[in-house]
Amino acid sequence: MSQNQKCSLLNSIALVIGTMVGAGILLIPRIILPYGKYGLIGWIIASICGVSLAYSFAQMSVIKAKQGKSQGLSAYSQQAFGNTVGFYVGWIHWIGLCFGFSSVTLAFTDYLYALIYAFPSISSFFPIYTKAYCAIGIIIAMALLNIFFTSAGLSVLSYLTGIKVTLFIIVIIASITRFEMSKILIDSQTSGVVSNIFAAAQFALLAFAGVEGAVVAGNNTENPERTIPLATMIGTAIAASLFCLTHLGIMVTLPVEQQLTSTAPVADTAKILLGEYGLMTISFMAVLGTLGSINALMILTATVFKNLMDEHNMSKILRTTSSAGFPLFGCMLSSLIVIKLLYARYVLKIDLSTIMSTATFLFLFSYFYTITALYKEKNYNFTIWCIAMAGIATLMLGCEPICVSITVLLLFIGHLIYTICQQSE
């Protein structure tokens, strides 16, 4: 984001929704649907946690705006716990955004190729192995858009966010007539009530990655004391409603057997509800919607990296911006990491759930320290704080051991980078 351009309330809301409503609701249902009724409970728990996080971030943004201090997760942690912790939180948050970025890109290519293969006359020109090249191409294109046309990037984000919200509203309204309680009370494919609920909630919480979007852009926001909390709460409330109602619509529309095998449940639901033309329309809107999420995450990853480098007075090279004021080095490095993650998925066949689980744990790690920093401030809602903290802690305990191992490795790498940069000063 340009340092000279300020985010309006609409831009900030679009940034929050644009980041959250994308890969989450398109990818996560196919992972959660096998949990049956517990999957829907998982969405509700994740929504409560997400809204509590949003409220806590909104409170923190108001406090820091009144104090005249910097906004952002790493800034909050740095102000509460010192430079070292602040760097670790910002580092992990940035890497988590990159992992989430790769998941969104995977969703984009899945829906794009589903749309292409609906037209046999052109599908032969796009063999399945070209999905990886397509994913890399769209990342490069979005990077160039924001580097050279920063204001256009924000405008594109706002329009595409409106399209994706419309997409899910259409599916939700069309599925109302199919509502039956028996279709919701489906048993899980695995045993254990508590384990099923928390496993589903863990994946569902990934959809709320981006709840901090307005906070991250807080240093470049019009009237931050008002805009950041409003955008955070409005955006999160809209996203949480869309998540739960869309998942409910899928459950009451798709047969149980298809729920367990579908790789694109939203598109398959649209096909049943609206027919072939409806499917193509929804698929086209899904492509545009995930494109909006890619653009939002491009802005967030570059901005988070730039803010982190600024806060710790790192090398000027790392803080380089384009002529339009967009974080150039942060954009290029973020794009490179996302491409590496896509390579791990397409070539090394790393499981998608592993990428998504790791992203979830990385976000939870950075959220934990940020919410803990709020505890040191006055004038906050303790009840909401407890709900947010309990949700974070519980979901962190439910993450797979490999996610913890990856986070420890990333912390070690971050520690080396931080130490080297400090010694070179």
pLDDT tens column, 2-46:
555 667 788 788 878 877 776 667 777 878 888 888 888 888 988
Answer whether residue 203 shows pLDDT above 90. Answer: no
CB 21 within 8 A of CB 293: yes
Q: Which two tokens stand for residue 149?
A: 């046309």
Q: Which CATH number fits domain 9-420: 1.20.1740.10, 3.40.50.11310, 1.20.1250.20, 3.90.1150.10?
A: 1.20.1740.10
Mean of all residue pLDDT scores within the chain: 82
pLDDT tens-digit readout, 214-223? 676 656 777 7
Q: Which two tokens stand for residue 403?
A: 């996610």
Residue 341: per-residue pLDDT: 92
- In sequence order, which residues have a C-beta less than 8 Å from that of residue 11 and are 6 or more positions away? 154, 157, 158
**One-letter-per-residue 3-state SS of 167-221:** HHHHHHHHHHHHCCHHHHCCCCCCCCHHHHHHHHHHHHHHCCCCCCHHHHCHHHE
pLDDT tens-digit readout, 405-425? 999 999 999 999 888 877 765
Q: What is the DSSP letter of 327?
A: B
- Count of positions (residues) in the chain: 425
By percentage, how much of the chain surpasses pLDDT 70?
A: 93
For residue 159, which amino acid is it? Y
Residue 4: per-residue pLDDT: 54
Any alpha helices (H) in 312-381, and if so which ranges? 328-346, 352-375
Answer whether residue 233 shows pLDDT above 80. Answer: yes
- Rounded to whole angstroms, the Cα distance separating 225 from 355 reads 35
For residue 198, which amino acid is it? F
Answer whether residue 332 shows pLDDT above 90. Answer: yes
pLDDT tens-digit readout, 130-155? 888 889 999 999 898 888 876 666 67
CB 235 within 8 A of CB 243: no
pLDDT tens-digit readout, 268-294? 888 888 887 777 777 777 787 788 778
Q: Position of tokens 């192995």?
A: 129
pLDDT tens-digit readout, 253-266? 888 888 778 877 88
> Residues 53, 54, 58, 64: what is their CA dihedral angle, to the nearest 10 degrees?
50
For residue 186, which amino acid is it? I
Q: Which two tokens stand for residue 347?
A: 């070539």
Q: What's the burial of 202, exposed, middle or buried (CB within 10 Å: 0-12/13-18/19+)?
A: buried
CB 220 within 8 A of CB 300: no
Q: Which two tokens stand for residue 338?
A: 């996302």
| Residue 221 bridge partners (DSSP) | 7
